[in-house]
């Protein structure tokens, strides 16, 4: 398709004036003779010229545009929530988003940053699809940038991430609150990755136990992989113990889903026999399980909003050291947590 | 943050020349004295002026930009695949995407189209998140537009949608191929909605049965809601029949997931006892079930690519009548389809 629109050079030629004059008319500047202005405007009308945003951009030096660059991933169910949150805040400030998915390709990433800078973006949101340390294109230092769900080794960019420790603590507190004392925890990745989502959520679990005076029992912890199969296998493994847990905290909703199948196979009901808390609040999983899963929501939309808000309100170069913001992962109460069986309710039994 | 960059007016003022002169220097036009050019370039250097894309846009009349507008939805797991497909094709042609999620709000939608046109986009992709008839902002007629996963009542825009009938037919054929004759079909919505995904997939199911000489049996069809709970309930209902089906075709993977729980509860194994085919190839569900689900993939990335390709290659106004393209929903073979029990294998028994 690609319709060729008249440029201001076409207008200038047809009106027999210079480009500068057309620019002054477009920008409503004073130093243009009235007859010339009328002539230029009439030619614009004839040629169907529609003053574009580009003219305003050049005049004001502002693109009213933010770049939104995702560093990878495809199949993530969360990318859209991030974009939505960012877009909502941008729209309030009359800005638009240019979205690029670099899909894990370093060259695409470098090129994307160069393109965004050439487009004159007022800032760039660089979003990872899971919370981890990243190495970003150097050119990001040339433009205000906020990292989302990730951070650089030396923390030289503003960054917003989920508060994994607090999320793990609150998930565990919810189970303790119902009298559970034998609470299993399946991490969402092996701990050797060092991923905050794996290490942090486990740390929160330990904090909550300590706070409640429940001794930490390593036999109740498994290192999962995040996927449903891992949840299924570890649930069966934990069920085989002499004194199986009465409650399970899974580092992902997908693992909780796998565990539901294991519980169904052995005839245990949720939450009558076992209680379950997940993590992620993943659409179509957490809300689709029977019973629907109580889980900790990853704050994707909130992180997207925070990133744009920071770009809009923090003077670039003055936000030093760059803020490293942690946002809470609120609990979403559904139907998978119940009272601990009386025999296990500790001091409440 | 919002760094104020020098505009060409700042350059003109500092260099003591007109804006037209700066524009000519920027656009490498001939009619500028060498000394003036040198002066302007030196001022640009001093002020840290970086020629932006906007200048090129004005010069060439081309924004090298496409708009990507989603008409609604939030929580869809598919939006990102659409954007990725569109972006991949746009990148090949050195174009970028401006993405807007109108989130079901008519005013946002109208405003978004106006903004995109003001930005000089070369075309707009208007994407729905499920296949249905839509009413779009009138202003879309002012710019090349392709509809994705939707269509207008009078088909006045080019449009690309999944081939629901063919998908339904091929899903059913896969089960017939294994000797199944009592094949249940649970639609992904009630038929009175008229949604192509509900009506079309059922039509494909009937076509496949007719082709195979298997009489259509209304008692094997249920109108589902698309969600897991609906799959769970209808699976139990069908299992209670005197002569229950040996195979199930669900209009969504989520319903298949619900059905897996029902099968687990009554001790039936997939695919040993019952075979299942889903629809959608929904990430984290189809691949997470035990066994992983054989399903028909919605061609989201392919639709996004097709839309941008059409904008790039079809002369606007000459693609009349606007093409209405159906893309196949390829089968994704996993582990949920097995041979029919011998007693039910019809002529093959």
Q: Which CATH architecture group holds A164-299+332-344?
A: 3-Layer(aba) Sandwich (3.40)
Could you read off the pLDDT of A69-96 as tens digits, one per residue? 987 654 466 777 888 899 999 989 989 8
End-to-end CA distance of chain A: 74
End-to-end CA distance of chain B: 74
Could you read off the pLDDT of B297-333 as tens digits, one per residue? 999 999 999 999 999 998 877 778 999 999 999 999 9
Could you read off the pLDDT of B176-201 as tens digits, one per residue? 999 999 999 999 999 999 999 999 99
Could you read off the pLDDT of A90-127 as tens digits, one per residue? 989 989 888 888 877 888 888 889 888 888 899 999 99
Q: Nearest CB to B315: which of A1, A232, A289?
A: A1
Mean pLDDT across the stretch A325-332? Answer: 98
In B, minimum Cα distance to A229 occurs at B288
User: Are A332 and A287 within 8 A, CB to CB?
Assistant: no
Q: Nearest CB to A284: which of B6, B285, B312?
A: B285
With beta carbons under 8 A apart, name residues in chain B contacting A284.
Answer: 75, 77, 228, 254, 282, 284-285
Mean pLDDT across the stretch A164-182? Answer: 98
pLDDT at position A345 is: 46
Query: CATH top-level class for A8-58?
Result: mainly alpha
pTM, entire model: 0.83
Query: CATH top-level class for B164-298+332-348?
Result: alpha beta
- Coil, helix or strand at residue B342: helix
Interface test with B, best of A9, A58, A286 (most B CBs within 10 A): A58
**Which parts of chain B register pLDDT below 70?**
1-5, 27-28, 50-53, 55-56, 58-61, 72-77, 343-349
Mean pLDDT across the stretch A55-77? Answer: 73
Residue B316 and residue A2: Cβ atoms within 8 Å? yes
Mean pLDDT across the stretch A203-228? Answer: 97
ipTM, interface predicted TM-score of the complex: 0.79
Q: Exposure string (b/e) for A188-217, b if CB count within 10 Å is 16 or more?
A: bbeeeeebbbbbbbbbbbbbbbeebebeee
Interface test with A, best of B279, B288, B314 (most A CBs within 10 A): B288
Could you read off the pLDDT of B261-286 as tens digits, one per residue? 999 999 999 999 999 999 999 988 99
Q: How far is B330 from chain A (nearest CA, A)?
A: 18
Sheet with A145-151, strands from edge to edge, namely A324-327, A158-162, A145-151, A123-133, A65-70, A96-101, B96-101, B65-70, B123-133, B145-151, B158-162, B324-327
Q: Nearest CB to A3: which of B2, B19, B144?
A: B144
Cα B86 to Cα A66, A265, B89: the distances in Å are: 19, 43, 5
Interface test with A, best of B116, B267, B284 (most A CBs within 10 A): B284
With beta carbons under 8 A apart, name residues in chain B contacting A282.
Answer: 284
Residue B311 and residue A84: Cβ atoms within 8 Å? no
**Phi (first) and psi of residue A31, to 5 degrees:** -80, 60
CATH topology of domain A65-162+300-327: Rossmann fold (3.40.50)
Centre a 10 Å sphere on the Cβ of residue A310 and count the other Cβ atoms it contains. Answer: 23
User: Are A282 and A254 within 8 A, CB to CB?
Assistant: yes
Could you read off the pLDDT of A127-164 as tens digits, one per residue? 998 899 999 999 999 899 999 999 999 999 999 999 99
- CA gyration radius, chain B: 27
Q: Which CATH architecture group holds B65-163+300-328?
A: 3-Layer(aba) Sandwich (3.40)
User: Are B21 and B40 within 8 A, CB to CB?
Assistant: yes
Which residues, 6 or more positions from A156, have their beta carbon under 8 angstroms from its beta carbon? A141, A322
- Coil, helix or strand at residue A166: helix
The residues spanned by each domain of chain B are: 65-163+300-328, 164-298+332-348
Cα A61 to Cα A19, A76, B8, B9, B49: the distances in Å are: 18, 36, 8, 9, 10
Q: Nearest CB to B290: which of A52, A261, A290?
A: A261
- pLDDT of A56 strictly over 50: yes
The reply to whether B65-163+300-328 and B164-298+332-348 are identical in fold is yes
Residue B96 and residue A100: Cβ atoms within 8 Å? yes
Cα A183 to Cα A249, B74, B148, B325: the distances in Å are: 7, 34, 47, 54
């Amino acid at each position: 398709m690609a319709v060729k629109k008249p440029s201001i050079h076409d207008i200038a030629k047809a009106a027999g004036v210079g480009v500068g004059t057309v620019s002054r008319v477009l920008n409503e500047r004073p130093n243009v003779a009235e007859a010339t202005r009328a002539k230029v405007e009439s030619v614009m009308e004839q040629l169907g010229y529609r003053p574009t945003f580009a003219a305003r951009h050049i005049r004001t030096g502002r693109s009213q545009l933010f770049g939104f660059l995702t560093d990878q991933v495809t199949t993530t169910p969360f990318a859209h929530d991030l974009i939505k949150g960012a877009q909502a805040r941008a729209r309030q400030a009359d800005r638009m988003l240019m979205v690029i998915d670099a899909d894990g390709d370093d060259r695409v990433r470098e090129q994307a940053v160069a393109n965004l800078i050439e487009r004159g973006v007022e800032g760039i949101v660089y979003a990872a699809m899971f919370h981890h340390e990243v190495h970003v294109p150097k050119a990001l230092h040339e433009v205000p940038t906020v990292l989302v769900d990730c951070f650089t080794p030396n923390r030289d960019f503003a960054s917003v991430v989920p508060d994994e420790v607090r999320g793990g603590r609150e998930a565990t507190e919810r189970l303790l609150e119902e009298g559970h004392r034998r609470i299993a925890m399946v991490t969402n990745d092996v701990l050797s990755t060092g991923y905050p989502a794996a290490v942090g959520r486990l740390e929160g679990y330990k904090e909550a136990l300590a706070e409640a005076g429940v001794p930490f029992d390593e036999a109740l912890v498994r290192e999962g992989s995040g996927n449903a199969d891992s949840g299924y296998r570890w649930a069966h493994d934990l069920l085989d113990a002499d004194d199986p847990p009465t409650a399970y905290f899974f580092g992902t909703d997908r693992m909780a889903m796998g565990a539901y199948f294991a519980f169904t196979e052995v005839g245990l009901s949720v939450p009558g026999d076992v209680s379950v808390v997940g993590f992620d609040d993943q659409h179509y999983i957490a809300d689709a399980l029977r019973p629907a899963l109580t889980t900790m929501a990853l704050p994707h939309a909130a992180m997207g909003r925070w990133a744009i808000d920071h770009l809009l309100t923090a003077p670039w170069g003055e936000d030093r050291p760059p803020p490293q913001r942690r946002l809470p992962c609120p609990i979403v109460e559904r139907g998978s947590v119940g009272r601990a069986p009386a025999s296990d309710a500790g001091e409440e039994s």
